[in-house]
Amino acid sequence: MGPIVGETRRPLLIGEQAPSFEAQTTIGKVKFPDDYKGKWVVLFSHPADFTPVCTTEFVAFQKRFEQFAELNTQLIGLTIDQVFAHIKWVQWIKENLDTEIRFPVIADDRGKIAEMFGMIHPAKGTNTVRAVFIIDPESIVRLIIYYPQEVGRNFDEILRVLKALQVVDENKVATPANWPNNELIGDEVIIPPPKDVEAAEKRKEEYKCHDWWFCHKKL
């Protein structure tokens, strides 16, 4: 799991530095974060190779591979299997589903990386849950999502939150619910709260506002 507190490990938290690791993958050895400097990373785990839900997820990720690349983002998969199982599985996906998996899949056969990231939950034995970690170019964990083994992920949502994080960082704003399709303000973004009374009073002159504490604008 995450950092050590006393004698125990606690879960990794949003805003913390992602753990460093080296690993064997389906495309060779990788070293994180050194091999991903300047990139966003989506690190995700799946319970096991040769399982139907995981197979649909890998196809879904690969179908959006170019969209992630356009967002300066690299994908890394992980499960507690040996690399030969990963290789055979991605070969099966290519041969039977006409989809070539182009992102690396980590062979974490001893579970050390999964444990560092909190991908193993007690009720699921040694299997990894469906975890998603979005990590920024500074190797900071920016988003964590856990799904149960029985429910496949929504990959358009993973793309959406990745885009939102990049918009937030670039423009120093916040994004509303369901952005960019919010029921109140559409694709506009929310202005950070004012720091003093004077700034609060000028708000409605500078932006579109429901009130001084709820102002928004087009990018």
CATH code, domain carrying 32 = 3.40.30.10
pTM of the complete model: 0.92
Q: For residues 85 and 131, state if they share a domain.
A: yes
**Catalytically annotated residue among 18, 43, 54, 185:** 54
Instruction: Flag whether 138 is in a domain.
Output: yes
CATH number at residue 188: 3.30.1020.10
Whether residue 210 is found in the same domain as residue 140: no
Tell me whether residue 160 is in a domain: no
149 shares its domain with 178: no
The residue among 104, 118, 30 whose CA lies nearest residue 74 is: 104
- What sign for the dihedral angle of Cα 21, 74, 143, 216? positive
Instruction: Give domain status of residue 177, yes or no.
Output: yes
Of 118, 106, 219, residue with least CA distance to 168: 219
Of 105, 124, 153, which residue sits at a domain end? 153
215 is catalytic: no
Q: Which two tokens stand for residue 208?
A: 């579109």
In this structure, are 149 and 176 located in the same domain?
A: no
Q: Are 35 and 108 found together in one domain? A: yes
Same domain, 12 and 119: yes
Q: What is the pLDDT of residue 210?
A: 94
Domain check: are 181 and 133 in the same one? Answer: no
pLDDT the model gives residue 72: 98
Query: Are residues 12 and 109 located together in one domain of the fold?
Result: yes
State whether 63 and 148 are in the same domain: yes
Count of domains observed in the chain: 2
Q: Does 166 reside within a domain?
A: no
Per the structure block, which two tokens stand in for 109? Answer: 């056969």
pLDDT in tens, 21-43: 999 999 999 999 999 999 999 99
Name the residue range of residue 206's domain.
172-219
The answer to whether position 74 is within a domain reads yes
pLDDT tens-digit series, residues 123-159: 655 678 899 999 999 999 999 999 988 999 999 999 9
Phi then psi for residue 119, to 5 deg, are -90, -10
Q: What is the pLDDT of residue 125?
A: 59
Same domain, 70 and 125: yes
Q: Kindly report, residue by residue over 172-215, the tens digit of the pLDDT.
A: 999 999 999 999 999 999 999 999 999 999 999 999 999 999 99
- Residue at a domain's end among 123, 153, 183: 153
Alpha helices (runs of H) in the chain, residue ranges in sequence order = 52-63, 65-70, 83-97, 112-117, 155-171, 197-206
pLDDT at 128: 84
Q: Which residues contact 107 (CB under 8 A, 6 or more apart)?
A: 23, 24, 25, 26, 81, 82, 83, 85, 86
